[in-house]
Amino acid sequence: MGLCSIEEVHINDLPTSLNSNQIENIVEKFAQVAHDIKSPLAVLDTLLTSSKKFPESERTLVLHAVGRIKSISKDVLVKRQGIIESNEKLEFYKVFQLISPIIQEKLLETKGKNGIVLNGNDFLTDDSPSIKVKPTEFKRMISNIINNAIESLSGHGFVDIDIHQMGNHLLISVIDNGKGIPLNVLKRLGHEKISYAKTNGNGIGIYSAAEIVKRYNGVLEITSTPGKGTRVDIKLPGFKVSQEF
């Protein structure tokens, strides 16, 4: 199947005779291809951008093609994630299992950025409380909030991920000392799809996070001071293992 035919495939266009498992298998195969070509595409992109051996017109053409392939890959991965999330049920998961992999992932992503420090408190242990969530959806939400914090630093600063038990609730806080958010924007975040200080932002991230937390019977609050940083607090019902049974 060529790249053009992959680009033209949409979930709604798949034969109606296919059952949900067959559709998931097809999307999973596309997703694996999309994932596997990310690294070689990144290398190709870097070489083409830095090389002066190609005529400018040809280099621009190839870079445009690489960009289209990246866009197709991203679209496939987004569709796959949507299918996974739609099939997940609200269940109890330990906070340790949910958040530790995300922190490790972000540590790797920021490893080469010497001006950025990422911290996590000692609360993430095997006996940490459980929360009732959809795991893929929850991880995506936390990952996006941490990404927002990292982006606000402009290359220098810290991001703290703090988790604390508050009675029967769990408080997850993502704190940064980045550029902060003006009050007129802050009061609209989570209520409207608006973006602040992001070139490609569409404002869906925080709005979506607020809706997700609401479905988990929790509360999302954002406090911020321009020039000093931002704090995102997520308060969710939490349960110790002994209370789950």
- How is 48-111 classified by DSSP, letter by letter? HHH--SS-HHHHHHHHHHHHHHHHHHHHHHHHHHHHHHHH---EEEEHHHHHHHHHHHHHHHTT
Helices 56-87 and 20-36 sit at what angle, rounded to 10 degrees?
Answer: 140
Task: Please identify, among 35, 59, 87, the residue that sits at the C-terminal boundary of a domain.
Answer: 87
Estimate to the nearest angstrom the gap between the alpha carbon of 41 and the chain centroid. 21
- Residue 107 shares a structural domain with residue 10: no
CATH number of the domain at 155, please: 3.30.565.10
CA gap 62, 56 in Å, rounded: 10
- Residue 12 shares a structural domain with residue 101: no
Task: Please identify, among 34, 69, 87, the residue that sits at the C-terminal boundary of a domain.
Answer: 87
As a whole number, mean pLDDT of residues 116-123 equals: 80
State yes or no: pLDDT of 199 exceeds 60. Answer: no
- Residue 78 shares a structural domain with residue 96: no
- Residue 28 shares a structural domain with residue 48: yes
pLDDT tens by residue, 64-97: 777 777 777 766 666 666 665 666 788 999 888 8
Greater pLDDT, 60 or 221: 221
- Residue 147 shares a structural domain with residue 175: yes
- Residue 96 shares a structural domain with residue 52: no
- Residue 133 shares a structural domain with residue 213: yes
- Residue 79 shares a structural domain with residue 101: no
- Residue 105 shares a structural domain with residue 132: yes
154, 151, 143, 145: which is closest to 190 by C-alpha? 145
pLDDT at res. 149 = 92
- Residue 10 shares a structural domain with residue 37: yes
What domain count does the chain have?
2
- Residue 127 shares a structural domain with residue 231: yes
User: By residue range, what is the domain housing residue 57?
Assistant: 3-87
Task: Please identify, among 70, 87, 104, the residue that sits at the C-terminal boundary of a domain.
Answer: 87
Structure tokens at 67: 């960009």
Residue pair 210/220 in contact (Cβ under 8 Å)? The answer is yes
Average pLDDT of the chain, as a whole number = 77
Q: What percent of the chain has pLDDT over 70?
A: 66
| Confidence at 232, pLDDT banded by 50, 70, 90 | very high
- Residue 9 shares a structural domain with residue 105: no
| Confidence at 238, pLDDT banded by 50, 70, 90 | confident
pLDDT at res. 26 = 66
